[in-house]
Structure 1
Amino acid sequence: MSTGMARPRIHLLATGGTIAGEADPAGDGARYRAGVRPVEQLLAAVPGLDATAELSAEQILALDSKDMTPADWLTILAATRRALADTTIAGIVILHGTDTLEETAYFLHLTLPGDKPVVLTGAMRPADHPEADGPANLRAAVCLAASPSAQGKGVLAVMNRTAYPARWLCKARTHGLDAFESARPWTDGRPDGRCADLSPATLPRVDLLMGYAGAPPELVDACVAGGARGLVLALTGHGSVPAAWQPALARARGHGVAILRASRCAGPVDHNANADDDREGWLTAGDLPPAKARIALMLALARGGEAQSFLQLEE
């Protein structure tokens, strides 16, 4: 039934994930294959969705998001930017696996201008599950992307009837429909886009190393030998650097590798607190968790300039 009001056009970008998954016949119900169903099939499973918005869709990837790479982020970024440049499109929905959804969302948070809504969603159950959550998540994501309330909130995600801002989004649980959480509500979201003018052909390699009791310093040397341009250290406590790592980190700095202290814990790693970062030439993550600090460092290195100032723009 027509209401006389024009429906906004929402463009879907499908990348695979559990939302497009099917049970693995060899898994006895315990496993599934992600990214199997095409986006047209996912849309057909949500009757009446086109009453909310005029829909268009394209399949840009078909991955299990555990296999997502920085090169894939650039593919998603390019497709999203193309769609956002279309004046007939009011918002974007990106279908994505949940394992690395928070990383892709944060990457887009830093690289998109924020003038139109971009909403990521996925599923914790595959599409052929008798109680699949993907259709409800897809409907919620389209509704949010089409809503004026999503304007000016930056990149968002929707899971289990809850919206989240990309900046504070985190997958906190391995099971359950309530697998995601955020330190702030989605209404606190705002665009960042400090790299919206950046179009790198590749992203610099930045590795993430976990600090733990007895962690060998040879891990640092191996990353440098492998070509890392940056290292994010997911350290204990307030970013405490093991004494045994200090010589290896000094060697890395001597090769021009950026070193960023982050923490396994919640809470900030403050510059020059618990370490003399200025003397050592180390960067600090503030309250960014290690995986997001890695993304920020990759973009800081790709952009050039003073990396710590880039990182400190985050609140």
Structure 2
Amino acid sequence: MKKFARPVSVPFHTTISAALAVFIALPLYCTSAAAADASADQQPNVVGQAKQLPRVIVLATGGTISGTADARSAIGYNSGERTGQQLIKDVPGIEKFATISAEQISNIGSQDMNDKVWFQLAKRINEIFDRGEADGVVITHGTDTMEETAFFLKNVIHSTKPVVLVGSMRPGGVTSADGPNNLLEAVEVAASPQSQGRGVMVVMNDTIHDPRWITKTNTTSVQTFLSPNAGPIGYVDPASIRFVSPVLSARRAPYTLPVDGQLPRVEIVFAHSNMDATQIDHAIADKAKGIVIAGVGDGDVSNAAMLAMQRAAKMGVVVVRSSRVGSGFVNRNVEVDDDKSGFVASLDLNPEKARLLTQLLIANGITSPAQVQAAFSATY
């Protein structure tokens, strides 16, 4: 027969004492546990409070993003009506991403963008980063020449901290104005640790672009900016940033700006059917230091224009073949014998960016076709 262990008898007073001890200790334990839990819960807040938000300086230049609607037409507006500080105040929640301040560099439509404003921007951005004034910079800008300003700054800013250009296709005060959200996302990108080391970028319509690749493709659509030959480098919304390309480890030294505050004269000549040599000869007569051909197809021109280009190259004018087509590359020595003629092929750079790079190269004493071609071939 199986035997069961006899229960151990515990004196009544011992049971009561143990129970009282637990009863007395329980509030102390709960208080201590609650304090520990509260401390654990508060720890991230303490770190967050101790850590300051990134500092972003907004440099305003004008454009549609600072424009106001005009009753002259259903889509009429006036550029450059509002200041950078006013733009910031119109964006709820922007202060969550960064400590923001604004400076007014200019207040113009970007069709009037010029060397003076470019040099001011470059000087101020270099100062900001040299003096440690901010962790990132945002530039509000009109869309018409935004890609040119971005490409210029990419080639002259010596810091790799984020510089984000942003604009809008619709002015403030109209239905579905895209400026406030674009500005919010630009500040978000400029303030993000993910953006460190990426330098100059453009943020428009939830998309992040590299200045080399971006171009405006539509006159009025909010999705006007595309990077046809490479695609965007990332995407952004008010809750997240997703870069799809890595940070480049190597970076070419920036070009030096001329001390007189002006870039050399470089003309763009647009190719077309029945083209003669007139525009090219006029550029030579006007003492242009460089000529960029917005050629047909892969940078081709008529025979008459080709002869004029060859004359210009022999006179020491830097001649670059680009294309009026919206995408694709202009390669060397395909339909045109670039080596024999002393021409430069623009590769992926459209005429406006080819002009800018040619200006910077000439200003830095780089004028031989081989040297210029090497600079055009550099991807960064």
- Same fold by TM-score greater than 0.5: yes
**Equivalent residue number for residue 208 of structure 1:** 268
* Cα distance in 2, alignment partners of residues 310 and 176 from structure 1: 33
CA offsets per residue over residues 120-164 of structure 1, 9 Å max, x none?
Answer: 100111122232111111100000000011112231111112211
* Cα distance in 2, alignment partners of residues 125 and 287 from structure 1: 29
Range that drifts further, 66-75 or 227-236: 66-75
Q: Where in structure 2 are there 5+ consecutive unaligned residues?
A: 1-44, 234-242
Q: Tell me if 1:24 matches 2:70.
A: yes
Q: Tell me if 1:81 matches 2:126.
A: yes
Q: How far 1:197 moved relative to its partner?
A: 5.0
**Equivalent residue number for residue 157 of structure 1:** 202
**Equivalent residue number for residue 303 of structure 1:** 364
Q: Tell me if 1:284 matches 2:349.
A: no
The 8 Å contact of residues 154 and 190 in structure 1, kept in 2 or not, is answered as no
Could you list the runs of 4 or more consecutive aligned residues of structure 1 that deviate by over 3 angstroms after TM superposition? 189-195
* Cα distance in 2, alignment partners of residues 48 and 133 from structure 1: 16
Q: Which amino acid aligns with 2:68?
A: E
- Decide whether aligned partners of structure 1 residues 284 and 225 sit closer, same or farther in structure 2, where only a CA change above 3 A counts: same
- Decide whether aligned partners of structure 1 residues 108 and 189 sit closer, same or farther in structure 2, where only a CA change above 3 A counts: farther
**Equivalent residue number for residue 268 of structure 1:** 329
Q: Tell me if 1:46 matches 2:91.
A: yes
* Cα distance in 2, alignment partners of residues 276 and 112 from structure 1: 35
Q: How far 1:311 moved relative to its partner?
A: 1.5
Q: Which has the higher contact order (CA 8 A, sep 6+)?
A: 1
Q: How far 1:175 moved relative to its partner?
A: 1.6
Q: Tell me if 1:64 matches 2:124.
A: no
Q: Which amino acid aligns with 2:62?
A: G
Q: Which amino acid aligns with 1:202?
A: Q
Range that drifts further, 132-141 or 169-178: 169-178
Q: How far 1:251 moved relative to its partner?
A: 2.9
For the pair shown, the structure with the greater C-alpha radius of gyration is 2
Q: Tell me if 1:95 matches 2:140.
A: yes
Q: How far 1:252 moved relative to its partner?
A: 1.9
- Decide whether aligned partners of structure 1 residues 247 and 74 sit closer, same or farther in structure 2, where only a CA change above 3 A counts: same
Q: Which amino acid aligns with 1:310?
A: A
Range that drifts further, 65-74 or 102-111: 65-74
Q: How far 1:194 moved relative to its partner?
A: 3.7
* Cα distance in 2, alignment partners of residues 166 and 287 from structure 1: 12
- Decide whether aligned partners of structure 1 residues 178 and 246 sit closer, same or farther in structure 2, where only a CA change above 3 A counts: closer
* Cα distance in 1, alignment partners of residues 246 and 69 from structure 2: 35
* Cα distance in 2, alignment partners of residues 185 and 115 from structure 1: 19
Q: How far 1:247 moved relative to its partner?
A: 3.0
Q: How far 1:195 moved relative to its partner?
A: 5.3
Q: Where in structure 1 are there 5+ consecutive unaligned residues?
A: none
Q: What pairs up with 1:174-253 in 2 under 5 angstroms?
A: 174-182=219-227, 183-186=230-233, 187=243, 188=245, 190=247, 194=252, 196-200=254-258, 201-253=261-313
TM-score (norm 2): 0.78
Range that drifts further, 247-256 or 147-156: 247-256
Q: Which amino acid aligns with 1:47?
A: P
- Decide whether aligned partners of structure 1 residues 92 and 189 sit closer, same or farther in structure 2, where only a CA change above 3 A counts: farther
Range that drifts further, 203-212 or 69-78: 69-78
* Cα distance in 2, alignment partners of residues 226 and 30 from structure 1: 39
The 8 Å contact of residues 52 and 142 in structure 1, kept in 2 or not, is answered as yes
* Cα distance in 1, alignment partners of residues 365 and 246 from structure 2: 26
* Cα distance in 1, alignment partners of residues 342 and 103 from structure 2: 45
Range that drifts further, 197-206 or 55-64: 197-206
Q: Tell me if 1:8 matches 2:54.
A: yes
* Cα distance in 1, alignment partners of residues 323 and 334 from structure 2: 13
